[in-house]
Amino acid sequence: MSNNEILKPGVYYLQGAQACFEGAIMAGCRVYAGYPITPATEIMEHAAHRLPRLGGRFIQMEDEISSASVLVGASWAGAKAMTATSSPGFSLMQEVISFAIMTETPLVIVDVQRPGPGQGYITTGQEDVMQARWGHHGEGSIIALSPASVQDMFEFTIEAFNLAERWRTPVLVMAEETVAHMRERLIVPPLDTIPIVNRTKPQDMGIASEHYLPYGHAQVPPMATWGEGYNINHVSLVHHEDGNVTRYSPTVHVENVARIHRKIEGNVDAIARIETRELEGCRHVLICYGSVSRTGIEAVLEARAERGIPIGFIRLHTLWPFPEKQLRDLLPDVDVIFVPEMNLGMMAHPIMEALRDRCRRMVSIPSLGSLHSPEMILARIYEELQ
Amino acid sequence: MNRLCLNATYCKGCLICVEACPTGAITASDRINSKGYVLPREGDMRRCTGCNLCETVCPDFAITIETEDDSGE
Amino acid sequence: MKKHPMLKYLKEEGPAGPRLPLIMCPGCGAGQVLNYALHAVDTLLQEDALRKEDFVFISGVGCSSRLASHYLNFDSGWTLHGRALSVATGALLANPRLRIVVLTGDGDAAAIGGNHFIHTCRRNMDMTILCMNNGLYGMTGGQVAPTTPIGKTTTTTPYGNVEDEFDLCRLAQTAGATYVARWTTAHPHQVIKSIIKGVRKKGTAFIEILSQCPVHLKTSPVEMFRNMKKITVPLKKSAAGPVEGKIPVGEFCDIKKPDWIERYQNIMDQLSE
Amino acid sequence: MTRHQRFEIRIAGFGGQGVVTIGRILGTAFSVYGGQNSVNTQSYGPESRGGACRSEVVVSEGDINYPYVRNADVLIALSQVALDTYIGELKEGGILVFDPDAVTRIPPAGGYLRYAVPTVALAHETGDLKYQNAVALGALYALIRNRIEEAPLVKALRQSVPPKTINTNMAAFDKGKRYVQSHFSREA
């Protein structure tokens, strides 16, 4: 990557949206297809400006369905591809996400969440976190990351591409309007310190085209690229390892879909990341994700400093696959778990399920359309504990 | 003589009415209002034929013309 | 002081406070198109045996569609981006007597709504489509649209648009609409006449109105309004062939063809005999 | 876990006054050239022109967690609606910069340090209304010299405006700065 258009190591002051696509560039993304939607349009506009300078191609499609479909074709033809949308567009992309799960197609979708349902509003929100997991039809699982800063928008987008390539799956970056529009310092490290993962190809494993099984060889099958003579047939009907869809049987069905499911849900420790602060000796804990974690830590630090309340802080960097075991290992026993979310309580459910026998009770702190203020969270903490 | 009636709250100073007026009866005022808009005002209203083009092309339903029989009721 | 006569068709304020001035930017064409639509409805209510409750305004999403919502003193629906025509189809099936006026834009109708646009025309669904064509996406900040001229820079074609644009009227006509016309915001009386014709006519009436977006095209409303005449040429004058750099305006098509409801009604009538 | 002091600036007006640009320039000045952490955020109504628009900058030596203003140290109000909306969140004794041609009603309470700066008039003097934000930036600098040097601000300003407008923007910045320095006594 000697191209001098790539961001040089140093200090920048960028909007989250710009940092996001600069991360994509670092990861090797050279195809972007998107459609205008507030509050994600800035990412597309940055891609339109940057890609042709890097030997990449940008296209504005007629809607979100076609935008996501472009990513599938680009990925099959060997490119790292990405789009960014917001909640209404994310809904439209669900069928393509389902398709990408079954065909095990690496691609990245950034969802700059806004309130719903319907037009909802154009400010911030976290109301798509369940749609991210369950929005696509059918079984299968998904990887979804939750950035909380401009630096995260850069790093998590790189991570998203690496995970997509490593696990041959679509990966979602569940951003929020807060973090996409915020401007903050971005520190770009020396390029050789940024890990870049590329999909394993049959050639890398010495597999000749006549022996190639597009959905075989390993839990994460090597992926052939169109135009390299491997005669790969991408199919999303239930299929054998060689892509055969005619010799259906229930066992083939289970093996096919269960493998794709296990590929993600069986490797949570390798995929999911959690951040913790002030956990030692805490009687209570606040669990949050995304930009709410910025208010969360402010409130936790103030509650500890001002009133000496023994409350710890956990931030989920990864929403899906849900890090249940990791959470349980962290929390042997607490009194109250506070879960502030910019929705009416969504991640609260898997959190509650994971820690049902590890706490007295859980308090969900909802906020719709705007980031919780520290006062809002502190008020609930003091009310519940005093 | 016809009179110009302008709702200064609705008007955003786009001045399309002044442009559309076939006889130049209305013109732009010379001061900026509190929102930073330049509003239309009466020019030589004797030229006004009551054609209502200003009212028809207004994007903000802010301007209309009061003719003699309007005010005479 | 005399009020603008069309204000009677708008909800100036409600329990939650004033709704005007309109949210549109100064000099935006969308407000003018609404003004023309209301003038047309005003005439129809006087001349035809139509009541106010017969009219329904349906809009999609975008600057073009922003005005049908809580501003109108009519039944109206502010639907999903690109889906107004499908919602309108549903309303027709439930009550064919409704006089439906769809407020849409070039992006809303011909990009995300493109599929529904051509099928609505193919079916000749009885509605009047007012398509405000400003050649870009206004609400989201000035992105390229299917109607943006080739070579034009926008926020998503910073190096010039590489795609040809749709001729929305040819598209509608080819797809099957029975009344197709194009005017600009600087042709108020022609637009009003076309809307009246469209509402009276059975079948799909597609009326494209070139509309100015002063903010994103960085040109004063007056200059853009003045240019509308310069960049267009009456259809009759371009019958011999396209006039270089001029967009033909006028009535492209005005034919009789049974609309969907009428054809379906024949079946219903046969079945009920 | 030390908690660092926050310095919070809010700029508000209506769309088209360059409110967002001021925030971006301030953030760049503090964080790229001024060696401090800062978060710059903006709100925007669906109206891109004539609607409510605000931009905020939170500055700190340490990490900035909550990104928005909690208790503003400075409010720049370029319209009456902006003042009415945000005056309540200006700290007791905070700095209030406003354009007297646009803002005519200010609540008596609050003990704010008031600075009336005719940004529209000064912008016209510089050549065009669009330099209103550079004037406001200059006026602000004159009031927060203890927080930031002029050099980082100038660098950020030059980098954030179209090249051919740099000189006029600089002139507008100076006009705002000198207006405050001459109209308000030194220790204000």
Strands A284-289 and A334-341: parallel
Q: Which two tokens stand for residue A64?
A: 């979100």
A362 touches A339 (CB < 8 A): yes
Burial class (CB in 10 A: 0-12, 13-18, 19+), C231: middle
User: Do B12 and D50 count as a contact with CB atoms less than 8 A apart?
Assistant: yes
Fold (topology level) of D6-183 = Pyruvate-ferredoxin Oxidoreductase; domain 3 (3.40.920)
Compare all CA atoms of chain C with the CA of B55 and give the residue at the minimum distance: C4
| D128 close to B (CB below 8 A) | no
Crossing angle (nearest 10°) for helices D119-126 and D132-143? 120
Residues of A in contact with D36 (CB under 8 A): none
Greatest CA separation for chain D = 50
C9 interfaces chain B, CB cutoff of 8 Å? no
Specify burial of residue D53 (Cβ count, 10 A radius: 0-12, 13-18, 19+).
buried
Q: How far apart are CA C206 and CA C198, in angstroms?
A: 8
Instruction: State whether residue C118 sits within 8 Å of chain A by CB.
Output: no
Q: How far is the CA of C243 from the CAs of C126, C207, C212, C239, C251, in angstroms?
A: 33, 21, 21, 9, 17
Beta carbons of C145 and C106 less than 8 angstroms apart: yes
User: How big is chain A, counted in residues?
Assistant: 386
Q: What is the pLDDT of residue D46?
A: 54
CATH 2.40.30.20 for domain A10-193: no
pLDDT in tens, chain C (273 residues): 899 999 999 999 989 989 999 989 999 999 999 999 999 999 999 999 999 999 999 999 999 999 988 899 999 999 999 999 999 999 999 999 999 999 999 999 999 999 999 999 999 999 999 999 999 999 999 999 999 999 999 999 999 999 999 999 999 999 999 999 999 999 999 999 999 999 999 999 999 999 999 999 989 999 999 999 999 999 988 878 888 889 999 999 999 999 999 999 999 999 998
State the Cα–Cα distance between residues A72 and A170, nearest whole angstrom: 10
Model pLDDT for residues C133-149, shown as the tens digit of each residue? 999 999 999 999 999 99
Instruction: Spell out the domain ranges in chain B.
Output: 3-72
Cα A48 to Cα A17: distance, rounded to the nearest angstrom:
13
Cβ–Cβ below 8 Å for D49 and C23: no
**Chains sharing 3 or more CB pairs under 8 A with chain C:** A, B, D
Give the chains touching B; criterion: ≥3 Cβ pairs < 8 Å.
Answer: C, D
Question: Do the chains contact at D70 and A373, CB–CB below 8 Å?
Answer: yes
Q: Which residue has the tokens 């019958």?
A: C239
Structure tokens at A286: 């606040």
Residue linked to tokens 């876990």: D1
Provide the pLDDT for residue D2: 63
Interface confidence, given as ipTM, is 0.90
D76: β partners? D11, D97
Across D49-70, average pLDDT: 88
All residues of chain A having their beta carbon less than 8 Å from the beta carbon of residue C78 are 119
What are chain D's partners, defined as 3 or more CB pairs within 8 angstroms?
Answer: A, B, C
Name every residue whose Cβ is closer than 8 Å to that of residue A369 and which is 6 or more positions away in sequence.
A115, A120, A121, A123, A124, A125, A342
Domain ranges of chain A: 10-193, 202-268, 276-385
Dist CA C54 CA C74 (whole Å): 9
Q: Which class is C24-272 in CATH? A: alpha beta
d(CA A308, CA A293): 20
- Is the pLDDT reported for residue B73 higher than 90? no
Q: φ and ψ at A288, to 5 degrees?
A: -155, 180
Nearest CA-CA partner of D28 in A363, A14, A300: A14
What confidence category does residue D188 fall into, taking pLDDT thresholds of 50, 70 and 90? very low
Compute the distance between CA of residue A189 and CA of residue A374 in angstroms, rounded to an integer.
Answer: 32
- Given a contact cutoff of 8 angstroms between Cβ atoms, the answer to whether A58 and A29 are in contact is no
* Tokens 């059975």 sit on residue: C202
What b/e string do you get for A112-144 counting C-beta neighbours within 10 Å, with b at 16 or more?
Answer: bbbbbeebbbbbbbbbbbbbbbebbeeebbbbb
Q: Which residues of chain A have pLDDT under 50?
A: 1
With CA atoms as reference, the chain A residue closest to C143 would be A36
Name chain B contacts of C225, Cβ cutoff 8 Å: 16, 19-20, 57
- CATH class for domain B3-72? alpha beta
Classified as helix, coil or strand, A361 is strand
Domain positions in chain D are 6-183
Q: Where are the domains of chain C?
A: 24-272
Burial class (CB in 10 A: 0-12, 13-18, 19+), C94: exposed
Beta bridge partners of D57: D9, D40
pTM: 0.94
Cβ contact C140–A119 (<8 Å): no
Distance between CA atoms of A128 and A89, rounded to whole angstroms?
11
Q: Give the model confidence (pLDDT) of C59-92 as tens digits.
A: 999 999 999 888 999 999 999 999 999 999 999 9
The fold for domain A276-385 equals: Rossmann fold (3.40.50)
